[in-house]
Amino acid sequence: MKIHRAGDRPSQSPSPEYFTGTVRMDPVVSGDDESAVKILSVTFEPGARTAWHTHPAGQTLHVVSGLGLAGSEGQPVQVLRPGDTVWFAPGEKHWHGASPDCAMTHLAVQTSVDGKTANWMEHVSDADYSGPRAG
């Protein structure tokens, strides 16, 4: 048994190359664990979001608090609320983050493939971020 005590692992600020705005990541299951599954608690301040990206083995998000948004290429933007769980298929180009006026925290669950969990692309434009919302 291995226990990671609260506060033992510092919060991380991700690279601005892959995120817009203020974002904090806290490891739940990370590279220092033997599991291929990686889990992060990610908090996005209002307006903050990921860049477009894909995951080689897909990704699950579970919204813990706040109000979030998620976009998948060619689809309307989805509004995410606490308790919502989202699945992005392997290779699905997408982004996710907070709404313009409210922070959002989600658990991000992905599996490492050949040591890689994500393939990062361009930043999400303001037009895509503010695009049509799903009904």
- Mean pLDDT value across the chain: 93
Query: Could you tell me the pTM of the whole model?
Result: 0.93
Any idea of the CA torsion for 64, 68, 70, 76, to the nearest 10 degrees?
130
Q: Which two tokens mark 120?
A: 């990062």
Query: What's the start-to-end Cα distance of the chain, in Å?
Result: 46
Task: Count Cα atoms within 13 angstroms, Cβ side, for 3.
Answer: 3
Q: Which two tokens mark 59?
A: 């990704």
In the chain, the percentage of residues whose pLDDT exceeds 70 is 96
pLDDT in tens, 16-67: 999 999 999 999 987 665 678 899 999 999 999 999 999 999 999 999 999 9
Q: Got the DSSP string for 29-83?
A: E-TTSS-SEEEEEEEE-TT-EEPSEE-TT-EEEEEEEE-EEEEETTSPBEEE-TT
Amino acid at 99: S
